Structure 1
């Protein structure tokens, strides 16, 4: 008799567990670990946002909302997106989701058919590949490189397009590298997308976290809004990870198809979280800007510190991750991360969990205090010196 596991969907059976999770589990078993691994703000959601949730509960806001989300929240999102030169109809071109993660899943399941190929620039956020597989598509890695500041190279992009290619996933500012794409980079990508009739899923969850350069959305480039699904949410810029409020913006025809899946699987995002998100959008700009200033200070500290240790590190211009090159140590990403954790109690994420292009690198989140970053750098220095 076959085991229960053997009777599961082969797609699910063949999905590997998250490589990030293993290191978190190891770290949780140890004391005095400094974590540079967590991909979330270390700030608590601002009080006025939490208070808006309490007030919503006091007033009895505990019901379902429209599948699309609260109309007033969608209007606030549409107004907010105007800061990035984007114009969306709040009633037909915006849906509130349970985090950006649900929006990514909805977008892929809406766009792809079995056998379609999805291009994923790597190193990449760990969920894109498995979500593409769960939707029946074949993920295709497009490597990016440190010498290009981990920007998507157009020649590499063209080289990976086949007659089966249907979707390109973009994540800029990038997790895990901190790379950004500027307007000229995106114009080149847009030209290729239009030429090959590709859809683009643009994950812009870190759009607000840029340093010195304003974020540009590929959806703002002429000819791209009609073929782009923009994904974002409240998690990173507004320190609202646990609230699970994301959103997708797309042409009405695409969005209504996504909502078909959303209404049968989720129905709607929690109303209390939506009310809190509305408060954050309307009155949270100052707190958001203060958080970005703190991240910028930490960014310079960790990058300079890693370089002084002897680890080459490109300058991240977005998100809150440094992605240093550890190949000079002679260790693989896994060996470096595990050794650093076991010997010196600093948790980082090995770059290979973000795809083959990430091998030889580690991801260090600087969404932690300056004091913790100083201590972590001292421990990393001791570990590197012990290798040499």
Structure 2
């Protein structure tokens, strides 16, 4: 008797196919289009950081398995960074964990802290790995939607409070927020912190764009009253130093939470990025001028692309942070963002990302499209010139 067929893919991952980033980047290559879809820079970061990686390779530092929590030099640099930037004190030996990028940090944290049936509240639209990682942990995703108002996407604190139930285990926050560019304010974060304390919730904060804030300021949630012992803070080197391929991320939190995340992380990659960890330690110690100059350069590129998109006919939501601009395509007579992005390369030779794929409530995001501006200025000018064909 032939056994009944069973799907090969774990049912928790049913519906998670190839990511939209892979699809659109392949489309960019196939059509020779300007790729403003996937968020990676088209230039490398500081030369002194790259040379630090070369020295580590040549000196034999990190060529074999590095320590499980990360090399001491990097863990110390991360702790110094948190203290210098945010007055947050962490013990590099017990409260810092190095990961294979922020994506692994988030996956390990969710796998460690979420039991099957637990509810995880995530701000929507969300980075696509959030949904997959919550599913792999057996959790139930509960979206709270950021909605456009007065030129920005805003968090409805009443909606957030209403989403919390007796089954809620944790909140998964991303600020500065990808893809909308929203930077949560002090008042918003204070309300989130008060809710987490009141309802005894854990919080994972994805802060990979912490140094890409153009308006307002980045405030780690861990610094708010009652939050240090219940917040897992995640960040990485890729976005700040333009070495996204190195995949060096980290977690800072209390010893108990770091130990829990490490328990899951050790069975994912175990360790990674040995020589690059030494280079990132050097990067985190760059002078303040690097960080201010980097932000100023991206702010100018944001303004260039945002203005160009407006001239091309899009409604533009100018981001307060990250390196993405969200637009509404309805002024161009279109309503389906997925179809629009698939047709855009043929129409004008530019690739973007449809925000709909970052929503559970698809109707809330169907007309929004995201463009990345972490590219050379001449590339942005070329893209803007091409996009203006949409109005002709």
Range of TM-score over shorter length: over 0.9
Pairing 1:89–2:91 present = yes
Give the superposition deviation at 1:378: 2.5
Match of 2:143 in 1: 141
Partner SS state of residue 130, structure 1: helix
* 1:348 aligned residue: 352
Aligned-pair CA distance for 1:190: 1.0
- SS of equivalent to 1:124: coil
Provide the secondary structure at the position in 1 that maps to 2:179: coil
> What TM-score results when the alignment is normalised by the length of structure 1?
0.94
C-alpha contact (below 8 Å) 1:209/1:237 kept by paired residues:
yes
Please state whether the residue corresponding to 2:298 is helix, strand or coil: helix
Instruction: Find the counterpart in structure 2 of residue 36 from structure 1.
Output: 36
Matched, 1:368 2:375: yes
Aligned match of 1:158: 161
Is 2:74–2:280's contact at 8 Å kept on the other side of the alignment?
yes
Runs of 4+ in 1 over 6 A off after TM superposition: 2-5
> 2: distance between equivalents of 1:221 and 1:323?
29
- Residue 66 of structure 2: SS of its match in structure 1? coil
Count of residue correspondences: 384
In terms of mean alpha carbon deviation, does 172-181 or 47-56 score higher?
47-56
Please give the TM-score of this superposition, normalised by the length of structure 2: 0.93
CA drift of 1:152 comes to 1.9
Equivalent of 2:219 in 194, 216, 219: 216
* Post-superposition CA distance 1:114-160 (Å, at most 9, x none): 01111111111111011100111011111111116223210111222
- Which residue does 2:262 correspond to in 1? 259
Q: Relative to structure 2, which stretch is displaced further, 368-377 or 357-366?
A: 368-377
Deviation for aligned residue 1:100: 0.6
The DSSP-based 3-state class of the residue aligned with 2:340 is helix
| Counterpart in the other structure of 2:70 | 69
Is residue 2:142 matched to residue 1:108?
no
The answer (yes or no) to whether the contact 2:334–2:367 under 8 Å persists in 1 is no
Aligned partners of 2:341, 2:267: CA distance in 1, in Å? 41
Following superposition, the deviation at residue 4 of structure 1 comes to: 8.3
Q: Which residue of 2 aligns with 1:359?
A: 366
Alignment of 1:1-388 (within 5 A): 1=2, 6-31=7-32, 33-61=33-61, 62-82=63-83, 83-147=85-149, 149-283=152-286, 285-328=288-331, 329-355=333-359, 356=362, 357-383=364-390, 385=391
**What is the Cα deviation at residue 360 of structure 1?**
0.9
| Cα distance in 1 between the residues matched to 2:49 and 2:10 | 41
How far apart in 1 are the matches of 2:6 and 2:281?
43
Deviation at 1:72, TM superposition (A): 1.9
Paired residues of 1:64 and 1:270 also in contact (CA < 8 A): no
Q: Is residue 238–residue 288 contact of structure 1 (8 Å, CA) maintained in 2?
A: no
Q: Partners in 1 of 2:286 and 2:202 — Cα distance?
A: 34
Shift of 1:380: 1.9
For residues 206-237 of structure 1, what are the alpha-carbon distances to aligned partners after superposition, in whole Å with 9 as ceiling and x for unaligned? 00001143211111101011111000010001
Q: 1:84 to 1:40 in 2, by over 3 A?
A: farther
CA offsets, 1:322-360, max 9 Å, x none? 001112323311122122122211000011011133321
Aligned partners of 1:285 and 1:240: how far apart in 2?
19
Q: Give the secondary structure class of the aligned counterpart of 1:322.
A: strand
Shift of 1:293: 1.6
| Contact 2:183/2:216 (8 A) holds in 1 | no
Segments of structure 1 that go 5 or more residues without pairing to the other structure are none
Q: Quick check: 1:49–1:277 contact (8 Å CA) kept in 2? A: yes
Deviates more, 1:3-12 or 1:147-156: 3-12
Deviation at 1:284, TM superposition (A): 5.9
- CA distances 1:35-71 after superposition (whole Å, capped 9, x unpaired): 1112122330322112111211222222222211111
Deviation at residue 5 of structure 1 after TM alignment: 7.1
1:3–1:204: structure 2 CA closer, same or farther, 3 Å change rule?
A: farther
DSSP 3-state at the match of 1:324: strand
Is the 8 Å Cα contact of residues 21 and 38 (structure 2) preserved in structure 1? no
CA distance in 2: counterparts of 1:209 and 1:243, whole angstroms: 19
